[in-house]
Amino acid sequence: MKKGLIIGLGILGFLAFMIFTLASWVMGSYNNMVTLNQGVEKVWGDVETAYQRRSDMIPNLMQTTKGYAEHEKGTFTAVTEARAKVGQIKLSANDLTPENLAKFNAAQGELSSALSKLMMIKEAYPELKADKLFVRLMDEVAGTENRINVARQRYNETAQEYNVTIKRFPGMLIAGFFNFKEKPYFKSEAGSEKAPKIDFSTPSGK
């Protein structure tokens, strides 16, 4: 009788230990995924801040440029419309899907293209190229482009760590149960997904 009781208690103890161990693992895995997801949200916020900083510079840049290049209405219109389109896209870290990120990239890419054309107006207006405010704004935009690229790279690195964690077995079981979803990446090879770049160099022969 005592022997059977001891065996029963041993089995119950073992089961309790296993349940505790499993619960601890589930809790630890869940907390780790939450932490990594929060990291993705933070770096995505940095991406948005960098893009917003660029957008905030555009009115001053356009105003300065218009003072020397009043006839470049087509370029000014393109920049204004592209900036407005960017402002209409509100993408939170929780809404990051390949489709939503592609729309975000397309709008930002359109603004980058329009802004690049605006910056190149300086080649036709020597007085504009010599304007100290315009030169300072050019430098600030260039610095912001670097911030954007750095923020995008950090986002990709953080998203990769998060994605690897939720896709590996057995963590994928926890991720599936708690609905942790894969985050998309910024891509740099094709179309609207190419990292925004603005050419500040002077064309040859100028």
Instruction: Give the residue ranges of DSSP H helices in 73-97.
Output: 73-87
Instruction: Please give the Cα distance from 108 to 51 (Å, whole number).
Output: 8
Residue 202 lies in a domain: no
- The one-character DSSP state at 164 is H
Q: What is the pLDDT of residue 141?
A: 92
25 within some domain: yes
Q: Which two tokens stand for residue 113?
A: 């293209």
Joined together, the tokens standing for residue 5 give 């009781």
The whole-angstrom separation of Cα 95 and Cα 86 is 16
Residue 33 lies in a domain: yes
Rounded to whole angstroms, how far apart are CA atoms 74 and 82?
Answer: 12
Question: What pLDDT is attached to residue 16?
Answer: 86
CA distance linking residue 200 with residue 82, whole number of Å: 20
| CA dist., res. 206 & res. 183, Å (int) | 45
**Structural domain total, the chain:** 1
DSSP at 182? P
Residue 201 lies in a domain: no
Structure token digits, residue 135: 């030169």
Does a structural domain hold residue 205? no
Dihedrals φ, ψ of 48, to 5°?
Answer: -60, -40
- The residue type found at 177 is F
Q: Is residue 203 part of a domain?
A: no
Residue 11 has a pLDDT of: 82
pLDDT of residue 122: 87
Query: Which CATH number do you get for residue 30?
Result: 1.20.1440.20
Does 206 fall in a domain?
no
Domain enclosing residue 110, as ranges: 2-193
Residue 171 lies in a domain: yes
pLDDT value of residue 1: 64
Q: How far apart are the first and last CA of the chain?
A: 101
Positions of the chain with pLDDT under 50? 189-206
